[in-house]
Amino acid sequence: MEKLIISLNAVELRILGIWAEAILHGGHWGDGAVILPDEEAAMQLLKSAQANSALACTPRNIFTFLVWSSASSETPEEQILREKLEKSLAGTGLRPPVL
């Protein structure tokens, strides 16, 4: 599977964690009892990520991060991260989700 290399700083990693927590434990099924395979893969990737290091993501990982961004409170940092994720999908054939 195609890998996309992206570097995320500590703030961006923290934002992704906040988005994931909001969606998985307060979102689609409420308590996190049901986690879809794409979500689990993205969570494992986040757990292994180190700030400012290359992170090898699949397009589905990036797509999942963007789905989680629906929990965004639209701070400038969150908007920059969303744009960065959307740009990383360019040319993969996978379009960002419509939120």
- Report pLDDT for 27: 54
What is each CA distance from 37 to 43, 44, 80, 97, in whole angstroms?
10, 11, 27, 17
Q: Are 88 and 62 in contact (CB under 8 A)?
A: yes
- Report pLDDT for 2: 85
Q: pTM value? A: 0.89
pLDDT of 9 strictly over 60: yes
- Which residues form the domain of 24? 4-89
**Domain annotation covers residue 49:** yes
Domain count, the chain: 1
**Domain annotation covers residue 98:** no
Q: What is the pLDDT of residues 12-61, one digit of tens each?
A: 999 999 999 888 877 555 565 677 899 999 999 999 999 999 999 999 99
**Domain annotation covers residue 9:** yes
**Domain annotation covers residue 99:** no
**Domain annotation covers residue 96:** no
